[in-house]
Amino acid sequence: MKLWYEKGAWASKKAKKVADSFSPESVHSIAIIRHAAIGDMMVFRPFLVQARTFFPNAKITISIINTYSYGAPADLVDRIHRIDKKINGKKTSYTARLKQIRELGEHDLIFDMANTGLSSMICLLNRAKLKIGFPYRTLKNHLFYDIGILRSDLVPEVETLLHMLYIFGAPKLSTLNYAYPAYTAKVDRPYIVYFTSASLGWKCWPKEHFVTLIKTMASHYPNIDHIILEGINPHEKADDLIVQFSDFSNVVTQEVLALDQVIPFLGEATLVVCGDTGIRNMAIATETATVGIFFFTVPYRYLPINTKHHATFNSDGSVPDVESVFDKIQKYIINDNLC
């Protein structure tokens, strides 16, 4: 395999020599380190779909940590390797982690899609023939990897991950395949999903903004159900919100759903409105249109080049007001003749 790049990537002399000795068909074992929450697991799925096609004879193992195992794409891989960072709330010992690292085994290719201290240690200790990473700091390329891919917050991460395959000659994709069924929006009673929370408090759009937005939407679009989706954590419950919608019969809450339920629930929705959360990435993976609200994290990192997905943010990084979010939603609904 030729390494297809001129700029924007890095490869050692060893990498070029080893790659020349491989063909896609001769790669028999791949390990991928992905220590990430549910949203990043969704972003990861198109890579796995194409890796399976491009390396047809390879068995694929993903290495995860037990604190971030929810949503791991077990349906797309042959094996899941797990490292325990904590057990019963206590950090595991270095010796225990080292033993689990060694259980990953040797592979032809190892992709580090975590870029953490632990993932760097896994790469350092693994005897893979080629190690591929995407660190923000290029110094790490020489320390831990054979091939380094340029990483930027201005490029959707789903595409950056695919660059790890493109450098080996995999065909560039024009559409992303997340390997989920084609869900159809409810035509009898369409619904919009609002997720008002996030894993971190500073990512949350103010709840009073959500209340005003949902009331405005419910008034303008009475023939659509407006559903507030609850999360797992106590602060992600909607009890304090729903009482403010007593005058609106088309505003309801949806209790937290299991993964096999939330995917079709989002897939059948007309639109999902939320901040920078895993729910938004899950909606993107099901091909449901999204309006994301950003004011701290960089919107371009999780904004596929697709007319179904929109980001509301201010150039100065301030919190978007209700009117700007409503305007973005309204343009989508009117343009697609949903009402």
The structure's pTM equals 0.92
Indicate whether 13 and 161 sit together in one domain: yes
Q: Is residue 134 part of a domain?
A: yes
Report the pLDDT value the prediction gives residue 339, as an integer from 0 to 100: 52
**Residue 152 and residue 262 in one domain:** no
Say yes or no: 213 and 290 in one domain.
Answer: yes
What lies within 8 Å, CB to CB, of 124 at 6+ separation is 143, 144
- Could you tell me if residue 216 is inside a domain? yes
203 and 153 in one domain?
Answer: no
Residue 180 lies in a domain: no
Among the three residues 113, 131, 166, which one is the final residue of a domain in this structure?
166
Is 182 within a domain? no
Domain assignment present for 198: yes
Whether residue 304 sits in one domain with residue 262: yes
Q: Are residues 205 and 306 in the same domain?
A: yes
Is residue 183 in some structural domain? no
Residue type, 85: K
Domain boundary among 132, 166, 200: 166
Q: What is the pLDDT of residue 294?
A: 94
Establish if 287 belongs to a structural domain.
yes
Q: Tell me, yes or no, whether 37 and 162 share the same domain.
A: yes
Per-residue pLDDT of the chain (339 residues; tens, 9 = 90+): 999 999 889 999 999 999 999 999 999 999 999 999 999 999 999 999 999 999 999 999 999 999 898 899 999 999 999 999 889 889 999 999 999 999 999 999 999 999 999 999 999 999 999 999 999 888 899 999 999 999 999 999 999 999 999 999 999 988 899 999 999 887 788 999 999 988 777 788 999 999 999 999 999 999 999 999 998 887 788 888 899 999 999 999 999 999 899 999 999 999 999 999 999 999 999 999 999 999 988 999 888 877 789 999 999 999 999 999 999 998 876 666 555
154 and 231 co-located in one domain: no
Phi-psi category of 337—alpha, beta or left, where left has phi over 0 and alpha has psi -120 to 50? left
Domain that holds residue 108: 9-166
Domains identified in the chain, total number: 2
Q: Are residues 158 and 204 in the same domain?
A: no
What residues form DSSP beta bridges with 66? none
User: Do residues 152 and 282 both lie within one domain?
Assistant: no
- The pLDDT of residue 297 is 87
Please indicate, yes or no, whether residues 250 and 160 belong to a single structural domain of this protein.
no
- Residue 223 sits in a domain whose CATH number is 3.40.50.2000
Residues 147 and 196 in one domain: no
> Contacts by 213-221 with C-beta closer than 8 Å and gap 24+?
213/273, 213/322, 213/325, 213/326, 214/245, 214/251, 215/244, 215/245, 215/248, 215/251, 216/322, 216/326, 217/192, 217/326, 217/329, 218/245, 218/248, 218/250, 218/251, 219/248, 220/330, 221/192, 221/333, 221/339
In a domain, 31, yes or no: yes
pLDDT value at residue 335: 62
CB neighbour burial string for 72-83, b if at least 16 within 10 angstroms, e if fewer:
bbeebbeeebeb
